[in-house]
Chains A and B, each alone.
Chain A
Amino acid sequence: MPHDFDTHFARRESDSVKWNLYGADVLPLWIAEADFKPPQAVVDALAARVAHGIFGYTAAIGHASAPGAGWELPEIGAVIVDRMHRLYDWQITTADLVYLPGVVAGFNVACRAVGQRGDAVLMHAPCYGPIAKAPGNQGRQSQFAPLHEGVDADGLRTYHHDDDAFGAAMDAQTRLFLLCNPHNPTGRAFDRAELTAMANRCIANDAVICSDEIHCEITLGDATHIPIATLSPQIAQQTITLMSPSKTFNIPGLGFCVAIIQNPVLRAQYVAAMQGLVASPQIFGYTGALAAYKHGDEWLRDVLQYYHANREYAIGFIRQYMPQLIPNRAEATYLLWIDCRQANLPTNPKEFFLSHANVALSDGSAFGAAGEGYIRLTLATQRSVLQQALEAMYVALQPYS
């Protein structure tokens, strides 16, 4: 039986940041989080774990030499190894895995693990805020390579890796490239040629790649995800891949992420940079991730269809009623990246839709200077909520069109 993603349920009375940051009359389509319950197996597993009644340590504490360091939570490693093989024909072992509470911590650790204070970290522009801030957090310089922005036959925005810009942004100080693939906010799932170009430049420049692939399983329609580390064994040796069930199964609040690092030297550096500060995932991250990976695939298949339909609906609505806005056609992620620069708005578009439409979106400028004049809209909600938000945006635009 297909899962029901249409039934709306109250989230405001919960601890949800998404639903409580703005007022009670505002529809929140900002943060990258879905309004759906995860697979029932996840809820059941958490409920069963909680009923057990004792909540102790799941990992050694604080240091690689701590008593118990090396003990591994049961099953999860094998499940992830199997999943990489099944989805990407990628052969890894459980020894390649490092567990973390989230991908943001994951790429911050990467910044600290690679190079020295003052070295540079390269990123695409635009890119989501926590990536852009990471180098600065860790005493590194930031370098940005703009993506190439274009328009497709339908008049929708497209984004591609611009290899010349990428090469120009790199210099001798570039020790790390923070890739976001699939790309947030543009929804691009980079193809093999693009990824190969990036990787070759990194190898030539002796820069490590940290690939945030948190959206790897949110691919829509025919789009496919290629982990950059699967391009070649040589590239794998220079890559830290970050994955997580957070977006896939809508469990960001449980805090589980895995870094896949096949190069043992790089992995040791990475683990050293975590010591004391970044702990292993806790009980609920582990319990939720395990249940989701083991039992969530049918749910995932259904939810992807729902995201796909929401994307088509939103694009259709915008083209018909708000042609002054130019969205992308996200191949991956449940995010719509919308160019508002031709809409003639009196204020920043995020402020405009918040005050005139009571719809909370993400401000493009939070994704760097390349995002000025854009908004990001989260499609992962009930169709009725999406419809209501788009209609409110349409009404708000009327006086300005």
Chain B
Amino acid sequence: MRYDFDAVVDRRGGDSIKWNLYGDGILPMWVADGDVLSPPAVIDALVKRAQHGVYGYAGAPAALADLLVKRMKDLYDWSITTDDLVYVPGVVTGFNIAARAVATPGGGVLVQTPNYPPILNAAANHDMVTQTAELKLVEKNGIIDYALDMDAFTGAMTDETKIFILCHPHNPTGRLMNREELTAMAHACIERGVVICSDEIHCDIILDGRQHIPTAALSPEIAQHTITLMAPSKTFNIPGLGFSFAIIQNPELRAKYKKVMGGMVPHAGIFGYVGALAAYEHGQEWLDQSLVHYAGNRDFAIDFVKTHMPQLHITNPESTYLSWVDCSRAGIEGNPKEYFQKFGVALGDGRNFGAHVGNFVRITMACPRSLLADGLEMMRKALEPLS
């Protein structure tokens, strides 16, 4: 069946932080939270569970674990067992647990910049030290791209480095690291006894038929040093259901991870399980079509920027539904995010993504085309007085 990703759903006035943080006059494109309807199978399953009427303490359905094991095998030829799975309410919680499981206060947490704010904030949450390795910015024909800088990566590591939180596919740049890049980072970590926590929440939002490679699937040795985090949240646009999972094949590491969770972190709620199961079971066709929609939105945005706002420089993401825009040559005084907001559109603030990217904004494009066009048009109008 054909799914409609262009239907505009009114999200104002409810529980959505995206749509209510900045008030009624502002079109929100900041947080990575989509405005497309979830797969009908997910909605149907949730309706049925809601109507059941008793909401007691709920266990995870066994079918869900089996499905995830099969999914890893089918998508990545990665063999895991149901024992390797740990359910968590979100990937942000997931990598915060990981930091605590392997490092103590004062320990080093390696991250790459730019990066999305919760990754950059994780170390501080636990009185640990953030160590940053910049990605290399490359620009070609007005399009910006990022590459791994291995010297910066190893240069950022110290004896105190305990964990590397990788964001893969990468938010905000949309880069999909390749096998060589992943292998180089993984080996550098293993040599220094650094655990890898690979946040792969965008693993299913892969555009143009590319292939995602989970870090842990590179080799059994790397798998033993890796905590992988995945979720249906971005894939099926259900972040609010609060279901994510960690894959930890090293039993010792898994035990440490679960110990940190004890008492503090509930697994997931009833609706998280129901939604995840329905999504993975019945959502593939919807997902395939959503990727075409997102790629179309990306191409639309690139075209629009090239034609109407050449003073901005935008990414051509291989993955994610995020666009990362360099505004440093647009003549904006002050913070571009605040500037654009005066013209009606709320974007992701580059200042939250790293020390050196304050002139960038992030655009969430997981929305009907008409909303994206509205947002871009507001940006164009905003730049008009400056050119």
- Produce 1/0 per residue, A30-44, CB < 8 A to B: 010111111000110
Which of chain B's residues have a CB closer than 8 A to the CB of A67?
21, 30-31, 117, 348-349, 352
Contact partner, B265, options A42, A105, A134, Cβ 8 Å: A105
Nearest-neighbor residue (CB-CB) of A272 within chain B: B125
Verify A279–B92 contact, CB threshold 8 A: yes
Verify B54–A276 contact, CB threshold 8 A: no
CB distance from B89 to the nearest CB of A (A): 6
Answer yes or no: A153 CB below 8 A from chain B CBs: no
The CA of A68 and the CA of B117, in the complex, are separated in Å by 12
The CA of A346 and the CA of B302, in the complex, are separated in Å by 77
Answer yes or no: B269 CB below 8 A from chain A CBs: yes
Verify A56–B33 contact, CB threshold 8 A: yes
Answer yes or no: A86 CB below 8 A from chain B CBs: no
Known A66-B121, A250-B56: A57·B17 in contact at CB below 8 Å: yes
Known A62-B118, A252-B55: A102·B266 in contact at CB below 8 Å: yes
Contact partner, B43, options A20, A51, A102, A133, Cβ 8 Å: A51
Contact partner, A53, options B43, B52, B241, Cβ 8 Å: B43
Verify B17–A253 contact, CB threshold 8 A: no
Which of chain A's residues have a CB closer than 8 A to the CB of B121?
62-63, 65-66, 275-276
Contact partner, A54, options B56, B117, B237, B274, Cβ 8 Å: B237
CB distance from A174 to the nearest CB of B (A): 20
Residues 2-60 of B at the A interface (beta carbon under 8 Å)? 9, 11, 13-21, 30-31, 33-38, 43, 46-47, 50-60
Contact partner, B263, options A17, A42, A108, A253, Cβ 8 Å: A108
Answer yes or no: B325 CB below 8 A from chain A CBs: no
Answer yes or no: A126 CB below 8 A from chain B CBs: no
Verify B90–A61 contact, CB threshold 8 A: yes
- Produce 1/0 per residue, A287-322, CB < 8 A to B: 110000000000000000000000000000000000
CB distance from B167 to the nearest CB of A (A): 13
Which of chain A's residues have a CB closer than 8 A to the CB of B117?
62-63, 66-67
The CA of A310 and the CA of B273, in the complex, are separated in Å by 33
The CA of A67 and the CA of B60, in the complex, are separated in Å by 32
Answer yes or no: B61 CB below 8 A from chain A CBs: yes
Answer yes or no: A55 CB below 8 A from chain B CBs: yes
Which of chain B's residues have a CB closer than 8 A to the CB of A51?
43, 47
Which of chain B's residues have a CB closer than 8 A to the CB of A282?
89, 240-242, 269, 271-272
Answer yes or no: B188 CB below 8 A from chain A CBs: no
Verify A38–B55 contact, CB threshold 8 A: yes
CB distance from A382 to the nearest CB of B (A): 12
Which of chain B's residues have a CB closer than 8 A to the CB of A53?
9, 37-38, 43
Verify B262–A56 contact, CB threshold 8 A: no
Contact partner, B270, options A18, A62, A109, A253, Cβ 8 Å: A253
Verify A276–B125 contact, CB threshold 8 A: yes
Nearest-neighbor residue (CB-CB) of B16 within chain A: A56
Verify B37–A17 contact, CB threshold 8 A: no
Verify A133–B262 contact, CB threshold 8 A: yes
Known A55-B240, A56-B239: A252·B56 in contact at CB below 8 Å: yes
Answer yes or no: A369 CB below 8 A from chain B CBs: no
Answer yes or no: B93 CB below 8 A from chain A CBs: yes
Segment of A8-16, A154-162, A260-268, A324-332 in the binding face: A8-16
Which of chain A's residues have a CB closer than 8 A to the CB of B118?
61-63, 66, 276
Which of chain A's residues have a CB closer than 8 A to the CB of B348?
67
CB distance from B145 to the nearest CB of A (A): 25
Answer yes or no: B238 CB below 8 A from chain A CBs: yes
Answer yes or no: B207 CB below 8 A from chain A CBs: no
Answer yes or no: B122 CB below 8 A from chain A CBs: yes
Contact partner, A18, options B18, B20, B30, B56, Cβ 8 Å: B56
Which of chain B's residues have a CB closer than 8 A to the CB of A254?
55, 269-270
Verify A109–B264 contact, CB threshold 8 A: yes
Verify B18–A105 contact, CB threshold 8 A: no
Verify B58–A253 contact, CB threshold 8 A: yes
Contact partner, A284, options B61, B260, B269, Cβ 8 Å: B269
Answer yes or no: A277 CB below 8 A from chain B CBs: yes
Which of chain B's residues have a CB closer than 8 A to the CB of A66?
117-118, 121, 352
The CA of A198 and the CA of B22, in the complex, are separated in Å by 46
Most A CB atoms within 10 A — which of B30, B31, B61, B352? B31
Which of chain B's residues have a CB closer than 8 A to the CB of A36?
54
CB distance from B280 to the nearest CB of A (A): 15
The CA of A57 and the CA of B38, in the complex, are separated in Å by 14
Most B CB atoms within 10 A — which of A18, A54, A59, A252? A54
Verify A71–B21 contact, CB threshold 8 A: yes
CB distance from B277 to the nearest CB of A (A): 10
CB distance from A72 to the nearest CB of B (A): 10
Contact partner, A50, options B14, B46, B237, B349, Cβ 8 Å: B46
Answer yes or no: A368 CB below 8 A from chain B CBs: no
Nearest-neighbor residue (CB-CB) of A55 within chain B: B240
CB distance from B261 to the nearest CB of A (A): 8
Verify A37–B263 contact, CB threshold 8 A: no
Contact partner, B275, options A34, A55, A255, Cβ 8 Å: A55
The CA of A31 and the CA of B54, in the complex, are separated in Å by 15
CB distance from A381 to the nearest CB of B (A): 12
Nearest-neighbor residue (CB-CB) of B272 within chain A: A282
Most B CB atoms within 10 A — which of A58, A276, A279? A276
Answer yes or no: A269 CB below 8 A from chain B CBs: no
Verify A59–B57 contact, CB threshold 8 A: no
Verify A105–B263 contact, CB threshold 8 A: yes
A-B contact pairs, 28 of them (CB 8 A): A11-B56, A15-B270, A15-B273, A15-B274, A16-B57, A37-B53, A49-B50, A52-B14, A53-B37, A54-B11, A54-B34, A54-B37, A55-B38, A55-B240, A55-B241, A56-B237, A57-B33, A58-B240, A61-B31, A63-B121, A67-B352, A102-B266, A134-B263, A250-B54, A253-B270, A276-B126, A282-B242, A283-B240
Closest 10 CB pairs of A and B: A276-B96, A62-B118, A276-B125, A108-B263, A55-B240, A137-B263, A56-B33, A15-B58, A275-B125, A63-B121
